[in-house]
Structures are given as C-alpha cells and as structure tokens.
Amino acid sequence: MPAPDLISVSTLARLIGGPDSPYVVDVREQPGTHRIPAATRRMPAAGDRRAVLVDDRGGAAAHAAAARLRHDGIAAEVLEGGQGAWETAGLPLVPEDALVRDAEDRTLWVTRSRPKVDRIACPWLIRRFVDPNAVILFVPPGEVQAVAAQTGAAPFDIAAEGVRWTHRGELCTFDALVEGLGLGSIAPLALLAPIVRGADTARPDLAPEAAGLLAVSLGLSRLHADDHRQLEAGMAVYDALYRWARDAQDEKHDWTSHQPRGARA
C-alpha cells in the first residue's frame, strides 16, 4: 500500500481521462521523448484540483515539488516509482515529437469552426489524455492552414495535403489521434472510437451508440452559437461516454432493472 503522499501507477492510470483526474505534472530534469498521458510541465494554480508529481523514479525532485504545492494549499502526491515505474508497467506514453507546444508548454491546435462530432471528440481527447491546458482554435474553414502557419498550431480535421491529424480512408480524425498519440491500448478509448467514427462518417451500423451521439452532437451545435461554449458542453458528453465505456457497458436498464425486489413481481 502506498504511503499517504504516494499514488500507484495503477491508480493513476485508472484516473487519467476523467474530469476529476489529478493534474499530472512532469518535473523530470530531462523530459525525454515521451510523457505520461495528460502530463504537463506547467504547475497548477491556487485552487486547482489534486496534483500528481512525476519525476524519473519518484525521488527528491517530485517530493520537493509536491511538498511546495501542499504548502500552497494544493493536495499533491508523488507517483510511486516515477515515470520509470509507469514505463515498466507497459502503460501508454504520449510521443512529444507528435505535438506542437508553446513557450508555456501548452499544445496548440486549430480546426474548422462550427464543430459537430470529430471536432468536439478530438479536443476532448486532447484535454483529457494529452494536455489539460491545450489551446484549441476554431476558425473559418478556408483559414485553417493560414492560421496554422501564422500561429504554429497543429491543424486537425481538415481535408488538405500534408495534414497529419485528419481522416484516413474509413477512419476519422479521432482514430488518427488515438493511434498517433500512443493511446490505442486504453480499452475505453478503443470502445469509444467506433462510436465516434460511426457518428462522424454516417455509419451508425458501427456501434449502437453512434446514432445517439450524432443526435446529441447536432443538438449541441444548434444550442450553442459559440464554438467554445459548445466544446464545454460537449466535454460532459464525452466524459459520460468514456465512463460508460470504462465501467458501465455491461449494465442493462429497463423498467424493472432498478425497482426494489418486491416491486418486480
């Protein structure tokens, strides 16, 4: 059992991806070529949620940073064994060479305005599994590449030559990100991917949930004129789908399934 100020790799792996996931801070002296999913070099601000500090082996660097955060009133733990333990456990790692980061360690992304499915699912994936501080820019379709060139942001979900994060054959942009960012071994994401693909590519046959996701996505696009407000609302939809895929896919529900035993006769 970990000490009070430690968190195990198995516990952290289960928490990452949820809206209440700890804020994961990479304090390794040499960051290396890969990070734990959602890890950032940015320290949390006062009032932020619980933090987990990651160094190479769970040593002094992580403990010093965690102690300082606790002094500042932020609940902070150290990843037991550090990134070395995470890698030994064979858990997913996000490749740094696939990302564009600014001077503040935020990843930069740009896509078409007025999102429906893929352009909400992808920012959700990025903020939950890659970078909680990600900057997502929504611009007119014809300006995506020009804005990418001006800002250095990575374009996604556009049909243009040389764009890495976009549809490939029958696969959608969400599929490309899951695989290209090293997240394909996360079982709930593997279950979620065909739902997003089916909703985004008019293939409701791919998953029973795809038609429902499309309906909700189209409704959100009509409820919100502002793309960022729509994204904020959509985050809750994908959080719920991810939690269903992680914990509740085998649960059934009908009129009698949640009635007290005596009322089912």
Assess whether pLDDT exceeds 90 at residue 46: no
Read out DSSP for the chain?
A: ---TTEE-HHHHHHHTTSTT--EEEE--SS--SEE-TT-BSSPPPTT---EEEE-SSS-HHHHHHHHHHHHTT--EEEETTHHHHHHHTT---EEGGG--B-TTS-BEEEEESS--SHHHHHHHHHHHHT-TT-EEEEE-GGGHHHHHHHH-PEEBS---TT-SBS-BTTB-HHHHHHHHTT-TT-HHHHHHHHHHHHHHTT-GGG-TTHHHHHHHHHHHHHH-SSHHHHHHHHHHHHHHHHHIIIIITT----TTTTS-GGG--
Mean per-residue pLDDT of the chain: 94
The backbone torsions φ and ψ at residue 212, rounded to the nearest 5 degrees and listed phi first, read -65, -40
For residues 123-143, average pLDDT:
98
Assess whether pLDDT exceeds 60 at residue 15: yes
Contacts of 68 (CB under 8 A, 6+ apart): none
Assess whether pLDDT exceeds 90 at residue 265: no
Domain boundaries, the chain: 6-94, 99-248
Specify the pLDDT at position 261.
67
Specify the pLDDT at position 68.
95
Assess whether pLDDT exceeds 80 at residue 2: no
pLDDT tens sequence across 159-180: 999 999 999 999 999 999 999 9
For residues 20-24, average pLDDT:
95
pLDDT-based confidence at 257, cuts 50/70/90? Answer: confident
Quote the percentage of the chain above a pLDDT of 90: 89
The CATH code of domain 6-94 reads 3.40.250.10
Asked which of 2-16, 24-38, 108-122, 166-180 is least confident by mean pLDDT, the reply is: 2-16
Assess whether pLDDT exceeds 70 at residue 28: yes
Specify the pLDDT at position 254.
84
Q: Starting from the edge strand earliest in sequence, which strands make up the sheet with 135-139, in order?
A: 135-139, 108-112, 154-155
Which residue would you say has higher pLDDT here, 254 or 33? 33
pLDDT tens sequence across 101-112: 999 999 999 999
pLDDT tens sequence across 72-90: 999 999 999 999 999 999 9
pLDDT tens sequence across 186-208: 999 999 999 999 999 999 999 99
pLDDT-based confidence at 262, cuts 50/70/90? Answer: low
